[in-house]
Amino acid sequence: MTAPAAKPTALYPTRSAAGALLGQQLAGRGYLGCLLLGITPEGVEIAANAAKAMGAPFDVLVAAFIKLGSNVAPIGAIAESVPSEMDPDFQPSGGLLDKLTDAIDESRARVSQDLILYRTERPVKKLAGKIAVIVDGQIAYPWKALAAAKAAEQLGAKQVVIATPVATKASADRINAREYEFVCPTIVMDAQGHPAPYGDMAGETPERLRSIMIAHQAA
């Protein structure tokens, strides 16, 4: 009889603990008086707890990956109403162009729906002249974080910082190449990211519902 596979050890016991640690690191780097923006859905709870640790305000930015199929890596992302952020290494052939257009339209529609769920279509808290800290739960692929950074810049942020408790080396390199300040306590080499970053990892639906509730508290 084959023994069951061992459950991977979590990097952080809880999302709240990871968020608090991230907030401490951000404060230690002097990012005070900033606005933390959690990327939906995974970054919302992390951002809320980081903001609490720093005594800073937080809000949410709605974003969605662009995928050409559910089981493939994302090729880009959309955040709020800004143009899509695409993987520069993705060069679609003529036969994929229609599928790409459909995928972008689907992601845009998902963002529109989530704006209602997360912010009831209210605008993001005022960003003009402030430092915006974009927070995600894990950055295995950088496109949502980069799209959210683009959205924060469009909203008038004077500086954009990207932060997460865990990211892949490839994503960190992409973000640094774009010259954003990047705060991340744990960098992993696996291109897929860490299999269990948080000990309180829940299913997608409970996590999504919890992040929506937290987002409403930010209003």
Specify the CATH number for the domain of residue 49. Answer: 3.40.50.2020
In a domain, 73, yes or no: yes
pLDDT at residue 178 is higher than 60: yes
Domain enclosing residue 102, as ranges: 15-217
In a domain, 9, yes or no: no
Per-residue pLDDT tens for 30-78?
Answer: 998 899 999 999 999 999 999 999 999 999 999 999 999 877 899 999 9
Specify the pLDDT at position 201: 64
Q: Which of 65, 82, 211, 209 is nearest to 153 (CA)?
A: 82
In a domain, 152, yes or no: yes
CA distance 156 to 218: 20
Q: Which residues contact 193 (CB under 8 A, 6 or more apart)?
A: 138, 139, 140, 166, 167, 168
Number of domains in the chain: 1
Both tokens of residue 79?
Answer: 């955040």
Q: Which residues contact 138 (CB under 8 A, 6 or more apart)?
A: 42, 164, 165, 166, 167, 193, 194, 197
Q: Which of 45, 41, 11 is nearest to 194 (CA)?
A: 11
In a domain, 137, yes or no: yes
Specify the pLDDT at position 72: 86
pTM of the model: 0.93
Residue carrying structure tokens 């939906």: 40
In a domain, 8, yes or no: no
pLDDT at residue 175 is higher than 90: yes
Per-residue pLDDT tens for 131-174?
Answer: 999 999 999 999 999 999 999 999 999 999 999 999 999 999 99
In a domain, 85, yes or no: yes
pLDDT at residue 203 is higher than 70: no
Q: Count CA within 13 A, CB hemisphere, residue 210.
A: 16
Whether the Cβ atoms of residue 205 and residue 41 lie closer than 8 Å to each other: no
In a domain, 2, yes or no: no
Specify the pLDDT at position 148: 98
In a domain, 22, yes or no: yes
DSSP letter for 190, please.
-
CB neighbours of residue 161 within 10 Å? 21
pLDDT at residue 1 is higher than 70: no
Specify the pLDDT at position 32: 85
